[in-house]
Structures are given as structure tokens and as C-alpha cells.
Amino acid sequence: SQQGEEDPQALSIQEGENATMNCSYKTSINNLQWYRQNSGRGLVHLILIRSNEREKHSGRLRVTLDTSKKSSSLLITASRAADTASYFCATDGLTGGGNKLTFGTGTQLKVEL
Amino acid sequence: EAQVTQNPRYLITVTGKKLTVTCSQNMNHEYMSWYRQDPGLGLRQIYYSMNVEVTDKGDVPEGYKVSRKEKRNFPLILESPSPNQTSLYFCASSFRGVSSSPLHFGNGTRLTVT
């Protein structure tokens, strides 16, 4: 079953602009994670935010979490062509026992020069 | 270099011919998992293992087997592959479950079953 749903499905921006992706989920969570995937390659972990946290930063990445709305957002500031990739949110549900991350279908980001 | 290694990278086979996709990690991680990725469906978990000799089903386990005889290895076995198992497969590991540590992914195995 899919827990996270990313929005938009696809996003195209110019280099230097900010990119915002949103994720909504259905059930209560322990944590929410964001991953990046370059075309057909393995996913790379970006940020983990726990259910008791509201915001987290890592370099040009900013993640927010609103558990009351069951939603999260990933902001990439000053985007670069190298940020072109698919971005996935993944949730560790409370009932999962730490056994499973449930992934959304992803946002395809294209950063043009 | 810390990594998750999957082999082979590409595999084309015929219906019914048993195959094994290997996965090995060198980070001494307790938790390992297999996912398949299909267009429009995202990543779906097939099986996971919390430690040696401990495995359990994920969301889509039908048609797959796994084993965890050693901490570093977690092979995925398709006893009788069918065309609906054509997919991109990922092995992943984490230090101890996913509640506190992120997943490290292999580079994937693209399987085609004809």
C-alpha cells in the first residue's frame, strides 16, 4: 500500500530557482525521509525528520513536517542542473515496527540551464 | 567504501527459469530489504530481514524467496519467474531498522522475464 503521495508529479525550473515538492501521507508516522534517485540508479538518502520535529535543514535542502495535516515539503534552494532527479518521500509508520519504509511515487525534477 | 552491491545489473531470462539476484553490504548493517520499482507504482517492499535468520514478508512477496544466512548477504530468489516480475529491483540496508537510520541502496537490477 502506498503511504506517501508526492505533488507535483513533475516539475521543471530554471537553474538558480527554488524547487518545492510536497508529500502527503495517510497514517501516523515515526519519521519521514526524503530520497533522491538519478535516472534508473539507486536511491540516495537526503534527510530524515522525526514526527516530533517541524523543520530540518541540510545544505540547500529544507524539509518541513506538519503531522496535523499529514504532510511534508522538501525545498531545494538555488537549484543546479545536477539536482535533476526524482525525489521520493518515504514514511516509517507507527504500526510498521521499524520494519518498513513506504515510498510514494515521486516527483521528477528537471533543472534547466 | 561503504556500499550495497547487487548483481547482476541487468538480467534477461525466460519464464520458469530459476534465478538469484545477490545483494551484499559491507557496513555491518542488521536490517536489509528488497524493493521493486515499477512505473506509476513507486517502490514496493518485497521482503525484509531484521537480522541473521530473521526474514519477513513485505507488501508484494508472492513469487519471491529470500534467505539471510550471513549478516552481509541477502539474496533474492525467483523460483519460477513470470513476465509480471519484470521490474527494477533494489536491495537496501540500514544499521538497525528504519525508525532511526536511513536506507542505503544498491544500484539496482533490471530484470526482464520473457
pLDDT tens digits for range B33-64: 999 999 988 899 999 999 999 999 999 999 99
The answer to whether A89 and A2 have CB atoms below 8 angstroms apart is: no
**Residue B44: its chain A contacts at CB < 8 A?**
103
Per residue in A92-103, pLDDT tens? 887 766 678 899
Q: Which residues of chain B lie closer than 8 angstroms to A92, CB-CB? A: 98-99
Asked if B48 and A1 come within 8 Å (Cβ–Cβ), the reply is: no
Q: Do B90 and A42 touch (CB under 8 A)?
A: yes
A54: exposed, middle or buried (Cβ count in 10 Å: 0-12, 13-18, 19+): exposed
Q: What pLDDT digit, counting tens, does each position of B74-114 carry?
A: 999 999 999 999 999 999 999 988 877 899 999 999 999 99
Q: How far is A37 from chain B (nearest CA, A)?
A: 10
Check if the beta carbon of residue B89 is closer than 8 Å to that of residue B11: no
pLDDT at A2 over 60: no
pLDDT at A79 over 90: yes
Residues contacting B39, CB < 8 A, separation 6+: none
Distance from B79 to chain A by nearest Cα, in Å?
A: 24
